[in-house]
Amino acid sequence: MREVTVAVVQLEPKLCEVSANLARMSELVDKICLAQPVNLIVFPELITTGYECGVRFTDLAEKVPGHTVSLMAQKAAEFGVHIVFGMALKEKVESIIYDAAIVVGADGQLVGDYRKVHLRGEEHLAFRAGFRLPVLDLGNMTLGILVGWDLAFPEATRSLVLDGAELVCLCAAWEQPLDAEWHALLTARAFENSVFIAAANRIGQEPSYTFLGQSLILGPRGDIRANIETRAEGYALAKIDLDEVRRVREEYQLLQLRQPAAYRSIVRKY
């Protein structure tokens, strides 16, 4: 058995107040890790800034590594826990900004980052789309990372799984009234890929959105292992056995029975 304990956190960031949001994230890491041993903590999308920052993203975005990554890396090293969180990332050319997820390791080192591939609506005005779906080896687990609207595209999760992901972390800012879609897509992605999914979704209100929360952890049959049913701040924990991924894939054969030669049109632009 390869058991790991995973936590998903949902909270409401203060819009454009990075220092306050980092302080609250640090408090929650302390609270979770002091209560029980944890291997991985997942925070929502753009949790350090909030979602509707508009042109202020230019000033709020940070390079990686930078102050935010260094602070979260210190917390990770303090408790020996891996942390995944969403933030606005800027490149050397400061006008190039990504809606990103950062992974810091239990040793306090930066493991990698993922830049959101599937931007939605006004996100195109603030961010550049990513174009890679990396899979990260953390030693005791192999992670795939998605952000927000990536969940709606089955190709993204399938690509991560075909490259070896056994646990997909989703940093999200899904809003009302997409409750039904949120649950349906998470269940489908977990089952159709025989993969664990840890989905952290934010709560709270901003000028145009009310975010739905309902963070959860699903097993490779699409079954719920832990969830937060309310829209309150909090976290959910689950101890999972990553070896279950192999067993479920052998039972259902969903990956083995694919017929890629029949799917040529799937990579054709619409």
DSSP 117: S
**How far is the C-alpha of 201 from the C-alpha of 86, rounded, in Å?**
11
Residue 218 belongs to domain spanning: 3-267
Treating both helix axes as pointing N-terminal to C-terminal, what angle do 18-35 and 67-79 enclose, rounded to 10 degrees?
10
Show the tokens assigned to 148.
């927000």
Mean pLDDT by 10 residues, the chain (270 residues): 96 98 98 97 98 95 96 98 98 88 97 98 96 95 98 98 98 97 98 98 97 98 95 96 98 95 86
Q: What is the pTM of this model?
A: 0.97
Q: What CATH number corresponds to the domain at position 7?
A: 3.60.110.10
- pLDDT for 259: 95
Nearest-angstrom CA–CA distance, 172 and 70 = 22
CA 141/CA 40 separation, integer angstroms: 10
The predicted pLDDT at position 230 comes to 84
Q: State how far the Cα of 84 lies from the Cα of 171, in Å rounded to an integer.
A: 8
Tell which residue, 215, 212, 219, has the closest CA to residue 228. Answer: 215
Which tokens belong to 132? 């890679």
Report pLDDT for 166: 98
Q: Residues with Cβ < 8 Å from 82, sequence gap 6 or more?
A: 39, 40, 41, 76, 103, 104, 105, 106, 111, 138
Place of tokens 């279950």: 244
pLDDT at 138: 95
**Closest alpha carbon to 195 in 237, 156, 231:** 156
Number of independent structural domains in the chain:
1
pLDDT the model gives residue 196: 98
The two beta strands, 167-172 and 196-201, are: parallel
